[in-house]
Amino acid sequence: MSTLRLTRGNEDVGSFLSVLGTLRETRLTAVLGYLVSRFPGEFGPLLGYRHLPADEVSVEEFDNGDRYDVLIRQSGECHIIEGKVGSTQNVNQLLRYICSRRRTRKPSLTVVDEGSEFRQAQQRAFQQVRRRVKQLRFVTWTEVAAVCLAIAKKRRNFTTDPTGAVIANELASHLKENQMTTEPLPEIYLRDVSDINSVQLYFRHHIYKCQTKFYNSARRNLYFAPYFTHRMAEKISADNLVPVGEGISFVSRVEKVQVIETREVQAYLKSDGHPKPKEAAEIIRKNHREREVLLMTLGEPRLMFVSPVTKAKLRNIIPFGVGAMGSRSCTFDNLLAASQ
């Protein structure tokens, strides 16, 4: 079958949902609700419910001024599904939904987005949500897309429910086209390290901290490589058996990227099993005046380059201006090529 190139607003599109227009939460959740009703067995394990023949699915239901994305009613119980484009949920909105639906039993809640589990789950306000529901589950659009693709890959689905199977495939394509899905890439997060507190956090506590505005650029990386400025390199060399020069010498595996309320850092580190949560928290909070902080917990620093990779070398591979590195990523191939 021959096809023609299709564009909308001068951009190529490859799915029916993308032809309808820009990315909209209501459209995504409406399609999700439709697919849940057609393939309850496939979506149940992901969204956190065990489906029964008598279940009912409601999309865009209004109640007392509130609009619910998706509701699943099960034998007197209620399962709320709230979807968002991005990585932030409206906590006040969630609390209002929960209170409205809490008739005789606690409702269950599933939030679908691009990573609120790591951006908000540890915040004090979100703990109120956790206490007021029977079950709280975090799901990403990447996971939704994976279920959709699994549905589309089974031939029998195109026989038993061809419409549902096609729409499942379309939703997966639509999410990918709009960068709503993430596939792990062997990328390295590069940041300047120019103060002694950051050096201590990195070597003593295997942590890197920065402003929360860098969450999206930081969260998809598998490794972290600090760029030590000339002044910091001299201080490190004074206490290190291996001399360290200006540039990138060490690389660490990224274990977790999390946004934490600054005042809750010590409690979070303790619950995460950090060996010295109080000492690390004091360093993190020092000179940090913002309400929240982004923490990147890391593996053991590994000396990868005895001859450091400098910005002069990096510019030959990764174009950026003079001065601070900023928030950027590169592949191992990029970094190895720059080290030559």
pLDDT at 121 over 70: yes
Residue 231 has a pLDDT of 77
Residue 177 CA: distances (Å) to CA of 14, 163, 181, 218 = 8, 21, 9, 21
* Interatomic CA distance for residues 340 and 328, integer angstroms: 20
- Residue 248 CA to residue 228 CA, distance in Å, equals 6
pLDDT at 276 exceeding the cut of 80: yes
What band does 105 get if pLDDT is binned at 50, 70 and 90? confident
Pick among 1.25.40, 1.10.260, 1.10.1740, 3.40.1350: CATH of 7-177: 3.40.1350
3-class DSSP assignment, residue 255: strand
Average pLDDT of span 198-223: 89
For the full predicted model, state whether its pTM sits above 0.85: no
**Residue 63 is encoded by which pair of tokens?**
């109640």
Q: What kind of architecture, by CATH, is found in domain 187-339?
A: Roll (3.10)
Higher-scoring residue by pLDDT: 249, 23: 249
pLDDT one-digit tens code per residue, 68-99:
899 998 767 889 999 998 888 888 889 888 88
Q: Whose CA is closest to 105, among 80, 139, 140?
A: 80
- The more confident residue out of 7 and 30 is 30
Question: Which residues of the chain does CATH 3.10.590 include?
Answer: 187-339
Question: Which residue intervals of the chain bear CATH 3.40.1350?
Answer: 7-177
Residue 159 pLDDT > 70: yes
Q: Do the Cβ atoms of 71 and 96 come closer than 8 Å?
A: no
Residue percentage of the chain with pLDDT more than 90: 43
113-121: average pLDDT = 82
The answer to whether residue 161 scores a pLDDT higher than 90 is yes
